[in-house]
Structure 1
Amino acid sequence: MVNETTDQVHGANNDPAATTTTRVAPALPLQEHRLAVSNLDLLLPPLEVSVFLCYAQPAPTAAALKEALAKVLVPYYPLAGEVVASAHGEPELLCSGRGVDFTEAVGGSELKELRLGLVDEGVQRLVPAKKLAGVVSVQVTKFRCGGIVVGCTFDHRVCDAYSFNLFLVAWAAAARGGGGPTPPAPTFRRSLLAPRDPSPRTNSTDALIDRLFSPLSSVPPQQAPPSKATAVNRIYRISAADISALQAAAGPGRTKLESFTAHLWQLCSKSSAAAQAEQAQKLCCMGMVVDGRSRMSCSDEYNGDEAMKRYFGNVLTIPYGVISADDLRRRMTLAEVARDVHRWVREAATADHFRGLVDWVEALRPRPAAARAYLGGTGGADATACIVSSGMGFPVGRLDFGTGRPAFASYHFPWPAGAGYVMPMPSARGDGDWVVYVHAAPELVRVLEEEEHTVFRALENSYVFGY
């Protein structure tokens, strides 16, 4: 099944590039059916997330990538379908086998000339705009040097980054062929996240959920968020030594991610202070995306069910804290801020919270809900908001499509919300460094780059490509 079109678009550095789009269907036929999304999927608005992988020469060919994609779409069949509306107006998956739109483009430059750190300039054209009907789109851009960039865009309502990482690893394994361990098959068992009837939720369970989430109808009218054009997208690097220093300063028992989040929170407060002359917010809300798979897998209810580790979908919650900018800037040490981060992350990182959240959504349906962290939390519209989503599980070292691991890889999430979004990931160098994707207001980006004690460093091409 191939539908082919040819179009003219602009490639990297605004050079014209001819593109050809085909549709890659699963290698085996599929009985068309509908697959419900889970209650936790229903907490996600229609957002598109992208990821891109840079391969220097030798690089996998588009033909090899297509052949492997057709194979991996058999176990990952929902990705070859589309999102449609149910009878109640909620999203659900039509598993039709329509396939994945696959675009081939020719870049007008050398791969090493891409300015990867300046995402809006160097990356935006290398990831596809998701087709309205499909779940995933792929774009492969070939450069004069023989290198390529593989870009993917997917519907966040269908899966989170953890799930899409499973797919990427399976795709790479299919391209390599035999000789290595076969990645475990994904599971789409919605019963793993089925609501309980009756629900044994407690007052404390409900109090936390009500703090973190709200029916969309109860959210007060917000000022229109800044457009995508006013937000700035960057990718930085952070050295392993700086990460370790942050963790040491944050105190015993704090993870690297908690320490990093505390540092970022203090920088956010400084960006708010810098803009106070323009009546900027005086409260700072910091949220963190927490994956519930490991928490639920270890619970007595699941008895160590390995299926949760292979579950494909969204298993996320977003706890947050709100502190005044003055306290963050002037009165609190990094260790004190990290202690607060640890407190509200630990409070939500439990099987009881995730099970209660599933039940809460069930009682609310079909009314939609929203995460309060995106809206400033208890600080409301007067708070500046930023969300940290850990990409430390990004399996960059396992994304060898038969010609070697990528020289660089990152997620890309230029979402239309007003809150900032920051995602740290392991560097493809495998040396303990991080690369950090940032989507934020210009005021915060200036602080990240200019603050005396910042750990955010420019991403130089010499760092990525080794010259």
Structure 2
Amino acid sequence: MGIGDNYFFVKVTDKVVVHAEEPWNDHWLSFTNLDLLVPPFDVGSFFCYKKPSHGSFPDLLNTLKASLSRALSLYYPLAGEILWNPAAEENQFRCNNRGIDFIEAVADVELKELNLYNPDESIEGKLMPKKLHGVLAIQGEQLNKLQLVASENGQRRSKLEAFTSFLWKIVALSMEDSGNHNKLCNVALAVDGRRRLSEGDGEEKEKLMASHFGNVLSMPSGSKTSQELMEMSLSTIATDVHEFLQTATTKDHFLDLIDWVEERRSQPLVAIAFASKEMSVMVSSGTRFHTNGDMDFGWGKVVFGSCHVPSGREDCYVSTLPSPTNNNDWVIYMHLPMKHMNYIESHAGHMFKPLDSDYLEI
């Protein structure tokens, strides 16, 4: 694995299984109706920290193991397995405390030497399995400009709507540039229904829904040809994004969605956003996830964190995350074909900044 003219190696020093601290009775747990709309989609994450100024490495590992064990006692299905339940005739959680693999490893490289912008060179096959993606940063002033342009029709659009509109158009431009003329290009936004489903039901219900770790998502989407998008202004595209997004922002929408799945639970189901064989990009907002401060285990805040989608997935997935260095910036994770990544790099360099040690201040 090369970094410039240098190479680094990762050596696994130990591998153990961490179980829940408090065991429970072995039982099956069914998926919720909204879980059934999301296909098996392996999205992971990784977090990087500066070297602690206190405590030995074994002590840090023991802290992590103990924290994980306690967390699994609260979220015990995560310590189980997804298996076929013959009695229910569907896949379910087998809550058997199988446990979580905990792998310890060391690398002969410093964090600041890693090319975090292009993980193909430094992360894949080392910290994460092989995959194709890119991680970039979009700065506060560029987001503000993008929002202003997207709001030129007189209606104020959110930063997420503006960014999604920009991404939708530039992917379409990349399609046209690569010879895929006038082909359908779809974009979908993941909408979290936790807060919406608990609206008006009191503080206790709000807390219960906020702690739910399953999928409570709707995925409204829009579909246009690449040529249409090429000819549309950003504000016009933003209007379309706003309109299809609004269809999934009410409590009634999520209640209707739950009922719709209940009537068809015995059938294979999938959200429209995942069913299309055309070019489709899923955008998920993680800018409200306060991982930068909450992921402190006692040796400092996160220096850098990002998503991870395995290379076997052909889905196009984009996630916006809060920057660890500037509250107004976003870190953008993109799991896209390289032809689109190359086009974005060459035609939107003014918008995105590659992640490097200078940006992360490490």
The RMSD of aligned alpha carbons is: 2.3
- Secondary structure of the 2:44 match is strand
Instruction: Choose from 167, 177, 183 the match for 1:264.
Output: 167
- Secondary structure of the 1:23 match is strand
* Cα contact 1:11–1:105 (8 A) shared by 2: no
- Secondary structure of the 1:448 match is helix
Question: Could you tell me the TM-score, scaled by structure 2's length?
Answer: 0.89
* Cα contact 1:24–1:69 (8 A) shared by 2: yes
How far, CA to CA, are the matches of 1:448 and 1:128 in structure 2?
A: 24
- Secondary structure of the 2:325 match is coil
* Cα contact 1:397–1:430 (8 A) shared by 2: no
Q: CA deviation at 1:126?
A: 4.9
How far, CA to CA, are the matches of 1:119 and 1:459 in structure 2?
A: 10
Instruction: Choose from 35, 43, 52 the match for 1:58.
Output: 52
Q: CA deviation at 1:324?
A: 2.1
Look up the match of 2:136: 236
* Cα contact 1:449–1:457 (8 A) shared by 2: no
* Cα contact 2:76–2:95 (8 A) shared by 1: yes
Q: Is the counterpart of residue 459 in structure 1 residue 360 in structure 2?
A: no
> For the structure 1 residues 430 and 456, does the alpha-carbon distance in structure 2 shift closer, same or farther, using more than 3 Å as the test?
closer
Instruction: Choose from 12, 23, 31 the match for 1:29.
Output: 23
Look up the match of 1:48: 42
Amino acid across the alignment from 1:243: L
Q: Is the counterpart of residue 116 in structure 1 residue 116 in structure 2?
A: yes
> For the structure 1 residues 262 and 49, does the alpha-carbon distance in structure 2 shift closer, same or farther, using more than 3 Å as the test?
same
Amino acid across the alignment from 1:389: S
How far, CA to CA, are the matches of 1:312 and 1:452 in structure 2?
A: 35
Q: CA deviation at 1:265?
A: 0.8
> For the structure 1 residues 28 and 92, does the alpha-carbon distance in structure 2 shift closer, same or farther, using more than 3 Å as the test?
same
Superposed CA deviations along residues 426-457 of structure 1, whole A, max 9, x for unmatched, are: 00114311110001112211221111575122
- Secondary structure of the 1:85 match is strand
Look up the match of 1:373: 273
Instruction: Choose from 410, 418, 422 the match for 2:306.
Output: 410
Amino acid across the alignment from 2:188: G
Runs (4+) off by over 3 Å:
10-14, 125-129, 414-419
* Cα contact 2:181–2:227 (8 A) shared by 1: no
* Cα contact 2:28–2:95 (8 A) shared by 1: yes
Q: Is the counterpart of residue 249 in structure 1 residue 149 in structure 2?
A: yes
Look up the match of 1:445: 341
Q: CA deviation at 1:338?
A: 0.6
How far, CA to CA, are the matches of 2:2 and 2:19 in structure 1?
A: 26
> For the structure 1 residues 243 and 123, does the alpha-carbon distance in structure 2 shift closer, same or farther, using more than 3 Å as the test?
same
Instruction: Choose from 283, 301, 322 the match for 2:184.
Output: 283
Superposed CA deviations along residues 321-374 of structure 1, whole A, max 9, x for unmatched, are: 1122222112x2111111110000001222222111111222112221122223
Look up the match of 2:84: 85
Amino acid across the alignment from 2:213: F
Deviates more, 1:84-93 or 1:431-440: 84-93
- Secondary structure of the 1:254 match is coil
Look up the match of 1:274: 177
* Cα contact 1:82–1:96 (8 A) shared by 2: yes
Q: CA deviation at 1:280?
A: 5.3
Unpaired runs of 5+ in structure 2? none
- Secondary structure of the 1:68 match is helix
Unpaired runs of 5+ in structure 1? 1-9, 130-227
Q: CA deviation at 1:121?
A: 2.6
> For the structure 1 residues 71 and 11, does the alpha-carbon distance in structure 2 shift closer, same or farther, using more than 3 Å as the test?
farther
Amino acid across the alignment from 2:283: V
Instruction: Choose from 291, 312, 319 the match for 2:213.
Output: 312
Amino acid across the alignment from 1:82: E
Amino acid across the alignment from 2:70: K
Look up the match of 2:244: 344
- Secondary structure of the 1:124 match is coil
Look up the match of 1:137: none
- Secondary structure of the 1:74 match is helix
Q: Is the counterpart of residue 394 in structure 1 residue 294 in structure 2?
A: no
How far, CA to CA, are the matches of 2:210 and 2:10 in structure 1?
A: 43
* Cα contact 1:51–1:127 (8 A) shared by 2: no
Q: CA deviation at 1:418?
A: 3.6
Look up the match of 1:70: 69
Equivalent pairs counted in the alignment come to: 347
How far, CA to CA, are the matches of 2:286 and 2:127 in structure 1?
A: 18
- Secondary structure of the 1:450 match is helix
Q: CA deviation at 1:103?
A: 0.4
Instruction: Choose from 339, 359, 375 the match for 2:259.
Output: 359
Q: CA deviation at 1:75?
A: 1.1
* Cα contact 2:117–2:136 (8 A) shared by 1: yes
- Secondary structure of the 2:287 match is coil
* Cα contact 2:20–2:76 (8 A) shared by 1: yes
Amino acid across the alignment from 2:9: D
Q: CA deviation at 1:404?
A: 1.0
Amino acid across the alignment from 1:393: R
* Cα contact 2:117–2:135 (8 A) shared by 1: yes
Amino acid across the alignment from 1:260: F
> For the structure 1 residues 38 and 47, does the alpha-carbon distance in structure 2 shift closer, same or farther, using more than 3 Å as the test?
same
How far, CA to CA, are the matches of 1:273 and 1:334 in structure 2?
A: 17
How far, CA to CA, are the matches of 1:430 and 1:398 in structure 2?
A: 16
* Cα contact 1:43–1:370 (8 A) shared by 2: yes
> For the structure 1 residues 271 and 419, does the alpha-carbon distance in structure 2 shift closer, same or farther, using more than 3 Å as the test?
farther
> For the structure 1 residues 128 and 21, does the alpha-carbon distance in structure 2 shift closer, same or farther, using more than 3 Å as the test?
farther
Percent identity between matched residues is 36
